[in-house]
Amino acid sequence: MSFCVLKFGGSSVASATNMSRVLDIVEKEAARGKVVLVSSAISGCTDALLKADEASIREMERRHGDIVKRLFTGLQRELVQERVDLLFGLLRQAPEAEKVTFGEILSTTILEAKLGEEGYRTVWLDSRELVVRDNEPETYRRIREAIQTTPADLYIAPGFICQDGKGRICTLGRGGSDYSAALFAAALQAHSLQIWTDVPGIMTANPKQVSAARTIPRMSYQSALDMASHGAKVLYAPTVAPAMNAGIDIEIRNSFAPEGKFTVIGAEKDPSRWIGVASEKGHIRLVGVELSGQDGQAEAEHALQEVGIQALSIRPDGPSLDILVKEAVLETALRALHRAFFQELPIREVNLFIAGNGVVAKALTEMIEQSAPSVKERTGKSLRIVGRADSRHFGIDLGGAPKLEQEGDYIEAILQQAPKGSLFIDATNSETLYERYASLLEAGIGIVSSNRRSFAVPYPAYAAMHAAARENGVILRYGTTVGAALPMLESIARGANSCDELLSVEAVVSCTLNQILGGYQPGGESFASLLRKAQRAGLTEADPRLDLGGRDALRKLLILSREAGVQLEEQDVEITPIVPAELFQGTVEEFYKGLEAYEGALSQAARASELQGFRRRFVASLEKTADGYKACIGIRNVPPVHPAYHLRGTENAIIVRSAFHPYPLVIQGPGEGAREAASSILNDILR
Ligand code: ASP
Ligand code: MG
């Protein structure tokens, strides 16, 4: 004959409603075979009986009376109430030490009466006679004998209470009903031991402290014991040994959600290296299995440091880690450790629609492919290129392998197909693509752009894009447009966000001109020849006059200024080109000829500057004056104390002066290059 032992905790039987749930669970199991029901006292009862003052006893009388009233009717109600009254009479007369044992007697008396009423053949087993503390063999013998001599379908036994070796009534310790149940299960070689409580099994942390805690579906006896002996209240630690020795699985179930998640504790191996985190008196126990706890030490330290907690001690104890923290930070520490060891960040898919097929787009594609695994691990984001386009063709494949074979309107296709949370990457040099930004943003598609033409548009258009992004809760980022991977726009925006007043910005952001001016020596290679070389090396625009004319620097200055909250327009900027305006007419070849002819004037200016100990830099600047901000672009002679004096090659720099700080903020570094641009776009995507 095979038994199932069901144990219910105090909150599972705390009221008539709760008891009805218990009865449902018991009846289901009783339909399958013999059942031993072990119950705790109704919640709060043991505490009240330990106090044992008249007020506490009265309150318990009231609660039990209430349960009886709701569970029974008519004559049966009177009979059960009589028995309850009798028990309260005995309780009042009982020796001080025995009063605490009445809670379990009361709860099981009511449960037995109800099950009897429903027609079950029930027997109430007196645990005070059967369970001998610290003597398992004798306990098992007595339980078996009692069951053999009193046949029934359903046995009901109070948990917690027992006798010592000399026949004196006592208890198994607080929380001991779990252990009672294990003793019954072991004695009867039960096929199932179910501990029904008010949480869904043993969880990776106490859900009252860590809301992200989740149920551990299966675990070994060892780790259950480790959790239970270090503060996991859901299971009384001594429960594990009898079940383990008898080879019985322990199920920890939630009586408030009987069909929900639960834990099975058994002989199998644990499914993972780390099992859960428990805590007691400032000690945190990170329960692990197999390897030495030492290999979690660094990660635990790191997790705590991230929330500003210095552990008082961290030491491995077998496969687990014992961590001591100040009581005041206990819950923060628990959450941080839980996050690090048990919470996998949900991986978020980010679908990317890239526009542009030039060097930046290619570098970006390559970079995304290479860095995908590490990005996923670092940020929990899984990047997938699902759209691409050059100026004539496009391809969209939500599976991640788009081919450039379709003709038509790429943006329209994106609007129709893009899943929520997609990003549009503008890696083109298009003058007009910005006109489509609003429709993308309004469709909930964020934009990351390296196309500075999109942001050097008239201010109202610029402001409208930002408004569309804000209103639709999506990103619009373009950190790449000034200084490539250097954090220039970010730094400017930070000042503006914190109401730091911008006094001036000097931006040396024209890579082409930095390179040429830096390499230009009066009397050496001519300016025209250096420019040609730069053009051949791909450092200039197709028409190098765009660089010399300061067009590119103008765009960057507009973007920088707007980021600082200054509503600068193109016509507000005073540009002094390096070479006379006439040279800007005609063909590129005519321009080069004219430039050769102008070499004398250029070298003279350079020599004059050199004699004074200056260097020539192409500077775009914005300065606060008595009547507003003044913006200019042109060559400036900078002295050695100026941060721009030391720039090398294509280096960029911005020098920002603001009201908050006596010294300028200087950001300097590589401001050009396809890889730099790609890395900057990637960071905007991930930020
Ligand atoms: N009623 C006892 C206690 O509160 C035993 C138990 O609930 O397991 O400690
Ligand atoms: Mg308990």
Q: pLDDT tens digits, residue range 410-467? A: 999 999 888 877 999 999 999 999 999 999 999 889 999 999 999 999 999 999 999 9
Angle (CA) 409 413 416, round 5° = 145
Domain check: are 631 and 530 in the same one? yes
Q: Is residue 103 part of a domain?
A: no
Q: pLDDT tens digits, residue range 339-365? A: 899 986 566 789 999 999 999 999 999
Residue 55 is predicted with a pLDDT of 97
First to last CA, the chain: 64
- Report the nearest-CA residue for atom 5 of ligand 1: 175
Q: Residue 544 belongs to what domain range?
A: 495-670
- Euclidean distance between CA atoms 76 and 493, whole angstroms: 78
Ligand nearest to the CA of 171: 1
Q: pLDDT tens digits, residue range 260-277? A: 999 999 998 898 899 999
Q: Is residue 683 part of a domain?
A: no
Q: Six-digit token pair at 221? A: 């006896």
Residue 606 is predicted with a pLDDT of 92
- Euclidean distance between CA atoms 175 and 232, whole angstroms: 12
In contact, 614 and 583? CB cutoff 8 Å: no
Q: Is residue 400 part of a domain?
A: yes
Q: Mean of the pLDDT values across residues 157-177?
A: 96
Global pTM reads: 0.58
What would the DSSP string read from start to end of 92-146? Answer: HHS-GGGGGGHHHHHHHHHHHHHHHHTT--EEE--HHHH-BTT-HHHHHHHHHHH
Residue 622 is predicted with a pLDDT of 96
Q: Six-digit token pair at 237? A: 């630690």
In contact, 493 and 466? CB cutoff 8 Å: no
Residue 482 is predicted with a pLDDT of 94
Between 654 and 545, whose confidence is greater? 654
Q: pLDDT tens digits, residue range 614-667? A: 999 999 999 999 989 999 999 999 999 999 999 888 789 999 999 888 889 999
**Tokens 């179910």 correspond to what residue?**
194
- Euclidean distance between CA atoms 186 and 198, whole angstroms: 24
Angle between helices 330-342 and 297-306 (to 10 degrees): 120
Residue 216 is predicted with a pLDDT of 95
Q: Mean of the pLDDT values across residues 32-42?
A: 97
pLDDT tops 70 at residue 409: yes
- Ligand 2: centre distance to CA 38 (Å): 12
- Ligand 2: centre distance to CA 45 (Å): 13
What would the DSSP string read from start to end of 518-548? Answer: HH--TTSS-HHHHHHHHHHTT-S-SSTHHHH
- Ligand 1: centre distance to CA 45 (Å): 9
| Local structure of residue 485 (DSSP, 8 states) | T
Q: Is residue 41 part of a domain?
A: no
Question: Nearest-CA neighbor of 531 among 507, 551, 555, 547?
Answer: 547
The domain that holds 458 is classified in CATH as 3.40.50.720
- From 8, 13, 38, 46, the mutation candidate for ligand 1 (largest count of ligand atoms within 8 A of CB) is 46
Q: Mean of the pLDDT values across residues 386-392?
A: 94
The domain that holds 649 is classified in CATH as 3.30.360.10
Q: Six-digit token pair at 587? A: 């063909």
Domain check: are 552 and 426 in the same one? no
- Ligand 2: centre distance to CA 306 (Å): 35
Residue 347 is predicted with a pLDDT of 63
Domain check: are 510 and 639 in the same one? yes
Q: Six-digit token pair at 650? A: 């294509």
Domain check: are 373 and 425 in the same one? yes
Domain check: are 418 and 553 in the same one? no
- Euclidean distance between CA atoms 328 and 478, whole angstroms: 43
Domain check: are 528 and 473 in the same one? no
Residue 1 is predicted with a pLDDT of 66
Domain finish residue from 422, 449, 481: 481
In contact, 263 and 276? CB cutoff 8 Å: no
Q: Of the ranges 363-367, 505-509, 555-559, 660-664, which one carries the lowest mean pLDDT score?
A: 660-664
Domain finish residue from 458, 481, 504: 481
Ligand nearest to the CA of 176: 1
Q: Mean of the pLDDT values across residues 386-396?
A: 95
Q: Six-digit token pair at 54? A: 């008249």
Domain check: are 444 and 523 in the same one? no
**Tokens 């009252």 correspond to what residue?**
208
Ligand nearest to the CA of 43: 1
Pairing of strands 283-288, 274-280: antiparallel
pLDDT tops 90 at residue 161: yes
Question: Nearest-CA neighbor of 400 among 383, 419, 384, 420?
Answer: 384
Residue 40 is predicted with a pLDDT of 98
Average pLDDT, the chain: 93
Domain check: are 471 and 553 in the same one? no
Residue 538 is predicted with a pLDDT of 77
The type of residue at 99 is K
Residue 220 is predicted with a pLDDT of 96
Sign, Cα dihedral of 6, 12, 13, 16 = negative
Q: Is residue 430 part of a domain?
A: yes
Q: What atom of ligand 1 comes closest to residue 180's alpha carbon? A: 8
Q: Is residue 504 part of a domain?
A: yes
Q: pLDDT tens digits, residue range 77-136? A: 999 999 999 999 999 999 999 999 999 999 999 999 999 999 999 999 999 999 999 999
- Euclidean distance between CA atoms 93 and 74, whole angstroms: 29
Domain check: are 411 and 526 in the same one? no
- Euclidean distance between CA atoms 318 and 292, whole angstroms: 6
Residue 578 is predicted with a pLDDT of 85
- Ligand 1: centre distance to CA 236 (Å): 10
- Ligand 1: centre distance to CA 174 (Å): 5
The type of residue at 67 is I
- Euclidean distance between CA atoms 679 and 685, whole angstroms: 10
Domain check: are 576 and 468 in the same one? no
Q: Six-digit token pair at 488? A: 């220039």
Domain finish residue from 481, 504, 530: 481
Percent with pLDDT over 70 in the chain? 99
Q: Is residue 658 part of a domain?
A: yes
- Euclidean distance between CA atoms 25 and 16, whole angstroms: 14
Question: Nearest-CA neighbor of 508 among 634, 609, 665?
Answer: 634
- Ligand 1: centre distance to CA 99 (Å): 13
- Euclidean distance between CA atoms 507 and 634, whole angstroms: 11
Q: pLDDT tens digits, residue range 569-589? A: 999 999 998 888 888 888 888
Residues with beta carbon inside 6 Å of ligand 1? 9-10, 40-41, 46, 103, 159-160, 174-178
Q: pLDDT tens digits, residue range 528-543? A: 999 998 888 877 777 8
Domain check: are 526 and 575 in the same one? yes
In contact, 142 and 130? CB cutoff 8 Å: yes
Question: Nearest-CA neighbor of 57 among 18, 105, 103, 120?
Answer: 103
Domain check: are 409 and 458 in the same one? yes
Q: Is residue 534 part of a domain?
A: yes
C-alpha radius of gyration, the chain, whole number: 39
H helical segments located in 208-329: 221-229, 240-246, 297-306
User: In Å, how far are 74, 113, 416, 686 from 389, measured between CA atoms?
Assistant: 82, 77, 16, 22
Q: In terms of C-beta distances under 8 Å and separation of at least 24 residues, what long-range contacts does 84-93 make, across chains too?
A: 84/109, 84/110, 88/57, 88/60, 88/61, 88/64, 91/49, 91/57, 92/57
- From 101, 171, 174, 196, the mutation candidate for ligand 1 (largest count of ligand atoms within 8 A of CB) is 174
Q: In terms of C-beta distances under 8 Å and separation of at least 24 residues, what long-range contacts does 329-334 make, across chains too?
A: 330/209, 330/279, 330/282, 330/284, 331/209, 331/210, 332/307, 333/284, 333/304, 333/307, 333/309, 334/205, 334/206, 334/209, 334/210, 334/277, 334/279, 334/284
- Euclidean distance between CA atoms 643 and 504, whole angstroms: 14
Count structural domains, the chain. Answer: 2
Q: Mean of the pLDDT values across residues 233-248?
A: 97
